[in-house]
Amino acid sequence: MTAEIAVYNKLAVSLAADSAVTITGGNTVKINNGAEKLFALSKHHPVGLMVYGTGTLCGVPWEMIIKEYRRQLGETSYETIEQYAEKFWDFLCDCNHIIPRDIKENHLEDTLLYKVLPGFMQHIQDTYIKPFIIKEQRSPDTAETYVIVEEAAQEFVANFNSNHFYEGFDESDIDKALGFTTPLAQEACDSLLYQESDIEVPVTLVEALAIMFAHIICRKSSFGTNTGLVIAGYGEKEYFPSILAYDVVGFFGEKLRYSPNIDKSTSGGESGVTAYAQEDEVSAFMTGMSGELREFMFPTIESGADKILKDVVERIESSSLPVKEKEQLLTDIIDFAKQSWDKLSDEIRQYILENHVGKVVEMIEFLPKQDLGYMAESLVNLTAFKRKISNDSETVGGPIDVAIISKGDGFVWVKRKHYFDKELNYQYFKRN
């Protein structure tokens, strides 16, 4: 995990990122504090890039990819930040010298067979097999298991159809993906289901799994190793900073599987703070309560109110009142309860907006550049400090890199870690 912050107003945008990276392997979890997550996307123009989530694309470090793109970009500039992003996607799709086709395909195969499939089978065990055992007092036989898996895959696709496609993907890509996923579905069935049984896996089951895999390839979902990319700064024709966030998953063929993260993007001279990856402490600072507490509090209050309302309804229904009076009373009470809850929720949100978020955002609008950098660094430090003094894993920590990007001054490092002694490597700074 990581903590990364963007603080912005009409004058500039400041980016800050910690250095912690979590490494997992077998039963071991190790946290290193030397990762690079913040980069100048151009050496000549005011554009920066932050990476959070997975530190690699198909196993290739983002640092290597970004620095090669920067080298090829040279002094070239574009009119908008969106164009910088588009050119970066074009570079990723064309960089077969860095990420060869076989690496892309192997990464996609591994995602489907070793990440998606085990999770899907666990879902079947919890949602279908256990209820079957409870109801029938026995485990399903082979034929019944095949039917359960096929129905689960079909239900998954039916529910998945509402998900948006990745950028540049449509229904025709699902048909293309079936050519890739059908052999994988057959392999999955042979390894997980066929085993010692004499009953062959039905063709319809293989088809159902292949279709499920194809939709996962083409549509946005939580499956796979996701990298968040934040591209921030100014295009040649932009005078207020833009921040564009994206989720990047991998490739299918020559297409990049990515989607914009609208909730984490901003432009047009707005002022504010956006947190990426671990957001709880920033949310608490901005709103007066953490997102985790908010997600617990509102549903809990609503659930408690529903229980009270249900009890009132039951008491009225069991009373000796005339039927028409009961119906009218129930209607009035239910309407009153709904209106009261909606009003209370609105009042709480309005209070948070006026007394917490609004006060901070109003001040950010007038912060000078150096204070934007100080605020971004402080919010990352706050997250790291909370992890350090609590019993949570210290997944945020290490040196904090801070940069300020403005139209006039360009990309300026405020704090930057180095893995070497600066005095012994003067040629590095002459080069960069």
**pLDDT, tens digit, for every residue of 281-317?**
888 888 888 777 888 888 888 888 888 888 888 888 8
Question: What are the φ/ψ torsions at residue 251 (nearest 5 degrees)?
Answer: -130, 155
Region 29-58 average pLDDT: 88
Q: Give me the amino acid identity at 399.
A: P
**pLDDT, tens digit, for every residue of 227-246?**
999 999 999 999 999 999 99
Q: Rounded CA gap, 417 and 279, in Å? A: 23
Region 343-361 average pLDDT: 84
Region 334-356 average pLDDT: 85
Task: Pick 308 or 69 by higher pLDDT.
Answer: 69
At residue 25, the pLDDT reads: 52
Write down the CATH superfamily of domain 3-99+225-278+369-431: Aminohydrolase, N-terminal nucleophile (Ntn) domain (3.60.20.10)
Q: Rounded CA gap, 21 and 27, in Å? A: 17
DSSP state of 237: T
Whether residue 123 is predicted with pLDDT greater than 80 in this model: the reply is yes
Relative orientation angle of helices 291-317 and 280-287, to the nearest 10 degrees: 70
Which sequence spans correspond to the domains of the chain? 3-99+225-278+369-431, 101-218, 287-363
Say if CB 113 and CB 187 are below 8 A apart.
yes
Task: Pick 430 or 51 by higher pLDDT.
Answer: 51
Give one DSSP letter per residue of 326-356, joined into a string: HHHHHHHHHHHHHHHHHHHHHHHHHHHIIII
Q: Rounded CA gap, 293 and 289, in Å? A: 6
Q: Which of 48-57, 347-356, 414-423 has the highest mean pLDDT?
A: 48-57
At residue 211, the pLDDT reads: 95
Whether residue 24 is predicted with pLDDT greater than 80 in this model: the reply is no
Whether residue 248 is predicted with pLDDT greater than 60 in this model: the reply is yes
| Contact residues for 148 (Cβ-Cβ < 8 A; gap 6+) | 124, 128, 129, 132, 140
Task: Pick 284 or 61 by higher pLDDT.
Answer: 61
pTM, two decimal places: 0.86
Question: For the CA atoms of 122, 128, 134, 137, what is the dihedral angle to 10 degrees?
Answer: -100
